[in-house]
Amino acid sequence: MSTSQPGYFSAYENFALERSPSGVLTVRFHTDGDPVVFTGTTHHDFPRLIEEIAYDRDNTVVVLTGTGDRFMTEIDGPSLGDLTKPMSADVTYVEGRRGVQRLVDLEIPIVAAVNGPVSVHSEYVLLADVIVASDTTVFSDFPHLAFGIAPGDGLFVVWEEVLGLNRARQLEITNGSFTAQQALEWGAIAEVVPLDDVLPRAQAIAEQITALPQLTSRYMAVLFRQRISRRLAEGSSLGMALEALTAANLAYLQPAEAM
């Protein structure tokens, strides 16, 4: 394993990266060292970061986590561009589809350390092979219904896969939420631990995985994600197109509502 730090470790402003001697790469979302605010920059950088991680053979397991007492709960909607404009929506489509698809197709085991509430892009952590959540974690989808748009960016596919169709659509259409304990009971996550133990526990599991031959761990991850990878490939293209259509509809409705 190379002892030098790759350039991409410090290239993305919303991601702090640290790698253990055995190749466990911890990827932490943040904004200036505080809990992350998801922005257009985060959206732009995420698929590119995942691609660089994939090509770095010194990475053996990835741990995804957030900063402080929450994984991700804030979003800067305007920074993501105007979804009512086709060319702007196309940028969001390209980055959004590639981000979640590259994550699910990453040929490296993923362990999620969910350090508290996640109401923005919960599909990122729910795609992980092993999910450890704090007892303070609540999963929800704040942005889509708050903005008045359909959740077509892959979240609906992931929720269906990990929660079951009826439970997922009931929660999504009513803007519901579920706790880490409920997720554990439903089989959607692996463990619930106190907040301070989340990252150490996730990293310990990741280190345990590194005891396997690297190709074995890599392709076990690929095998177990085949179904959800296919579903995302099929569903996110249509889903994001319909999400953009609902955004365009908002622009159409606004003048009438202002009368």
What pLDDT is attached to residue 199?
98
Looking at every residue in the chain, the average pLDDT score rounds to 93
| Separation of alpha carbons 59 and 36, rounded Å | 24
Indicate whether this model's pTM tops 0.85. yes
- Alpha carbon distance 237, 218 (integer Å): 27
Residue 257 has pLDDT above 60, yes or no: no
pLDDT in tens, 40-73: 999 999 999 999 999 999 999 999 999 999 999 9
Q: In this predicted model, what pLDDT tens digit does every residue of 140-186 receive, in sequence order?
A: 998 888 888 888 888 999 999 999 999 999 999 999 999 999 999 99
Select from 192, 185, 63 the least CA-distant residue to 134.
192
3-state SS assignment for residue 95 = helix
Element (H, E) at 90: helix 86-104
Helix (H), strand (E) at residue 75: strand 74-75
Q: Which domains does the chain have, with CATH numbers?
A: 7-258 (3.90.226.10)
**pLDDT tens for each residue of 102-139:** 999 999 999 999 999 999 999 999 999 999 999 999 99
Active site residues: 123
What b-and-e string marks burial along 165-189, b requiring 16 or more CB atoms within 10 Å of the CB? Answer: eebbeebbeeeeebbbebbbeeebb
Residue 92 CA: distances (Å) to CA of 87, 97, 221: 9, 8, 27
Q: What is the mean pLDDT of the segment spanning 87-116?
A: 93
Which positions ≥6 away from 87 have C-beta within 8 Å?
A: none
Q: % helix / strand / coil in the chain, to the nearest 5?
A: 50, 15, 30
What residues contact 150, with CB distance under 8 A and at least 6 apart? 144, 239, 242, 243, 245, 246
Per-residue confidence (pLDDT) for residue 244, from 0 to 100: 84
CA–CA gap between residue 137 and residue 153 (Å, rounded)? 22
Q: Which pLDDT score, from 0 to 100, does residue 159 have?
A: 96
- Check residues 89 and 221 and name the one with the higher pLDDT: 221
- Residue 248 binned pLDDT confidence (cut-offs 50, 70, 90): confident
* 141, amino acid identity: D
At a CB cut-off of 8 Å and minimum separation 6, what does 119 contact? 72, 73, 138, 139, 140, 141, 142, 143, 177
